[in-house]
Structure 1
Amino acid sequence: MITSRLTSKSQTTIPQPIRAALHLKEGDALAYRIEDGCVILSRADPVIDDPFATFDEWNGEADRKAYAGL
Protein backbone atom coordinates (compact mmCIF):
# COMPACT_ATOMS: atom_id res chain seq x y z
CA MET A 1 0.00 0.00 0.00
CA ILE A 2 1.26 3.49 -0.89
CA THR A 3 0.64 6.22 1.70
CA SER A 4 1.21 9.93 2.22
CA ARG A 5 0.55 12.36 5.06
CA LEU A 6 -1.78 15.34 5.30
CA THR A 7 -0.14 18.64 6.30
CA SER A 8 -1.61 21.24 8.66
CA LYS A 9 -2.86 23.04 5.53
CA SER A 10 -4.72 19.90 4.34
CA GLN A 11 -2.15 19.31 1.59
CA THR A 12 -0.41 16.13 0.59
CA THR A 13 2.21 15.04 -1.92
CA ILE A 14 1.08 12.56 -4.54
CA PRO A 15 3.62 9.74 -4.17
CA GLN A 16 5.90 9.15 -7.17
CA PRO A 17 4.51 5.69 -8.05
CA ILE A 18 1.01 7.22 -8.29
CA ARG A 19 2.26 10.15 -10.40
CA ALA A 20 4.02 7.70 -12.70
CA ALA A 21 1.01 5.40 -13.01
CA LEU A 22 -1.27 8.34 -13.93
CA HIS A 23 1.41 10.06 -16.06
CA LEU A 24 0.99 13.22 -13.99
CA LYS A 25 3.12 16.29 -14.43
CA GLU A 26 3.15 19.75 -12.91
CA GLY A 27 -0.05 21.65 -13.64
CA ASP A 28 -2.21 18.60 -14.38
CA ALA A 29 -5.72 18.64 -12.94
CA LEU A 30 -6.92 15.82 -10.69
CA ALA A 31 -10.40 14.41 -10.23
CA TYR A 32 -11.69 12.80 -7.03
CA ARG A 33 -14.65 10.44 -6.83
CA ILE A 34 -16.06 8.86 -3.67
CA GLU A 35 -17.41 5.31 -4.06
CA ASP A 36 -18.36 2.95 -1.26
CA GLY A 37 -16.30 4.88 1.30
CA CYS A 38 -13.19 4.99 -0.92
CA VAL A 39 -11.72 7.93 -2.79
CA ILE A 40 -10.72 7.30 -6.40
CA LEU A 41 -8.07 9.65 -7.76
CA SER A 42 -7.68 10.12 -11.51
CA ARG A 43 -6.48 12.63 -14.05
CA ALA A 44 -9.19 15.18 -14.80
CA ASP A 45 -10.29 15.52 -18.39
CA PRO A 46 -8.44 18.41 -19.99
CA VAL A 47 -10.38 21.63 -20.36
CA ILE A 48 -10.95 22.46 -24.00
CA ASP A 49 -10.15 26.13 -24.58
CA ASP A 50 -11.67 26.09 -28.08
CA PRO A 51 -15.44 25.51 -27.73
CA PHE A 52 -15.61 24.53 -31.39
CA ALA A 53 -12.87 21.90 -31.15
CA THR A 54 -15.44 19.17 -30.57
CA PHE A 55 -17.45 19.99 -33.70
CA ASP A 56 -16.50 17.52 -36.42
CA GLU A 57 -19.05 18.78 -38.95
CA TRP A 58 -16.61 21.33 -40.41
CA ASN A 59 -13.43 19.35 -40.04
CA GLY A 60 -12.99 18.16 -43.60
CA GLU A 61 -10.22 19.00 -46.06
CA ALA A 62 -12.55 21.22 -48.11
CA ASP A 63 -13.53 23.14 -44.98
CA ARG A 64 -9.91 23.65 -43.93
CA LYS A 65 -9.10 25.06 -47.39
CA ALA A 66 -12.19 27.27 -47.45
CA TYR A 67 -11.56 28.78 -44.02
CA ALA A 68 -7.74 28.78 -44.05
CA GLY A 69 -7.46 32.55 -44.52
CA LEU A 70 -9.79 33.54 -41.70
Structure 2
Amino acid sequence: MITSKLTSKAQTTIPQPVRAALNLHEGDELEYRLEAGRVILTKRADEAMGDPFRTFEEWHSDADAVAYADL
Protein backbone atom coordinates (compact mmCIF):
# COMPACT_ATOMS: atom_id res chain seq x y z
CA MET A 1 0.00 0.00 0.00
CA ILE A 2 1.27 3.48 -0.91
CA THR A 3 0.38 6.36 1.39
CA SER A 4 0.97 10.09 1.82
CA LYS A 5 -0.05 12.72 4.38
CA LEU A 6 -2.28 15.73 3.95
CA THR A 7 -0.80 19.05 5.12
CA SER A 8 -2.66 21.78 6.98
CA LYS A 9 -3.10 23.50 3.58
CA ALA A 10 -4.79 20.39 2.12
CA GLN A 11 -1.72 19.52 0.02
CA THR A 12 0.02 16.20 -0.41
CA THR A 13 3.00 14.81 -2.30
CA ILE A 14 2.17 12.22 -4.91
CA PRO A 15 4.45 9.29 -4.05
CA GLN A 16 7.16 8.41 -6.57
CA PRO A 17 5.70 5.01 -7.54
CA VAL A 18 2.40 6.72 -8.44
CA ARG A 19 4.21 9.47 -10.42
CA ALA A 20 6.14 6.79 -12.30
CA ALA A 21 3.04 4.69 -13.01
CA LEU A 22 1.19 7.72 -14.42
CA ASN A 23 4.31 9.16 -16.10
CA LEU A 24 3.77 12.46 -14.26
CA HIS A 25 6.07 15.44 -14.65
CA GLU A 26 6.09 19.02 -13.39
CA GLY A 27 3.21 20.96 -14.90
CA ASP A 28 1.07 17.91 -15.71
CA GLU A 29 -2.60 18.21 -14.86
CA LEU A 30 -4.50 15.60 -12.89
CA GLU A 31 -8.12 14.53 -12.93
CA TYR A 32 -10.00 13.34 -9.86
CA ARG A 33 -13.12 11.23 -10.28
CA LEU A 34 -15.29 10.27 -7.30
CA GLU A 35 -16.77 6.77 -7.48
CA ALA A 36 -18.55 5.03 -4.63
CA GLY A 37 -16.56 6.73 -1.87
CA ARG A 38 -13.23 6.39 -3.69
CA VAL A 39 -11.13 8.77 -5.73
CA ILE A 40 -9.73 7.76 -9.09
CA LEU A 41 -6.62 9.80 -9.92
CA THR A 42 -5.51 9.99 -13.55
CA LYS A 43 -3.17 12.11 -15.63
CA ARG A 44 -5.22 14.50 -17.73
CA ALA A 45 -4.93 13.62 -21.41
CA ASP A 46 -3.18 16.18 -23.62
CA GLU A 47 -6.18 16.56 -25.92
CA ALA A 48 -8.38 17.36 -22.91
CA MET A 49 -6.13 20.25 -21.90
CA GLY A 50 -7.02 22.46 -24.85
CA ASP A 51 -4.44 24.94 -26.12
CA PRO A 52 -1.01 23.24 -26.07
CA PHE A 53 0.72 26.64 -26.03
CA ARG A 54 -0.94 27.84 -22.80
CA THR A 55 2.10 26.72 -20.80
CA PHE A 56 4.41 29.14 -22.66
CA GLU A 57 3.95 32.02 -20.25
CA GLU A 58 6.78 33.97 -21.91
CA TRP A 59 4.38 34.54 -24.84
CA HIS A 60 1.80 36.26 -22.66
CA SER A 61 3.43 39.64 -22.07
CA ASP A 62 1.84 43.02 -22.82
CA ALA A 63 4.41 43.52 -25.57
CA ASP A 64 3.27 40.30 -27.25
CA ALA A 65 -0.37 41.34 -27.02
CA VAL A 66 0.47 44.59 -28.82
CA ALA A 67 2.71 42.93 -31.41
CA TYR A 68 0.16 40.27 -32.34
CA ALA A 69 -3.03 42.30 -31.92
CA ASP A 70 -3.63 42.63 -35.68
CA LEU A 71 -3.16 38.94 -36.53
TM bracket, shorter-chain basis? 0.5 to 0.7
CA RMSD of aligned residues (A): 1.2
What is the CA–CA distance in structure 1 between the aligned matches of 2:29 and 2:51, rounded to whole Å?
15
Amino acid at match of 2:37: G
What is the CA–CA distance in structure 1 between the aligned matches of 2:33 and 2:23, rounded to whole Å?
19
**Which contiguous aligned blocks of 4+ residues in structure 1 show a shift greater than 4 angstroms?**
none
The alpha-carbon deviation at position 39 of structure 1 amounts to 0.4
Amino acid at match of 2:6: L
The alpha-carbon deviation at position 38 of structure 1 amounts to 0.5
What is the match of residue 34 of structure 1? 34
Structure 1 length as normaliser, TM-score? Answer: 0.67
What is the match of residue 62 of structure 1? none
Q: Percent identity?
A: 64
Structure 2 length as normaliser, TM-score? Answer: 0.66
What is the match of residue 18 of structure 1? 18
Aligned length: 50
More helix by share: 2
Q: Rg larger in 1 or in 2?
A: 1
What is the match of residue 67 of structure 1? none
Q: Which runs of 5+ in 2 are unaligned?
A: 53-71
Q: Which runs of 5+ in 1 are unaligned?
A: 51-70
What is the CA–CA distance in structure 1 between the aligned matches of 2:10 and 2:50, rounded to whole Å?
29
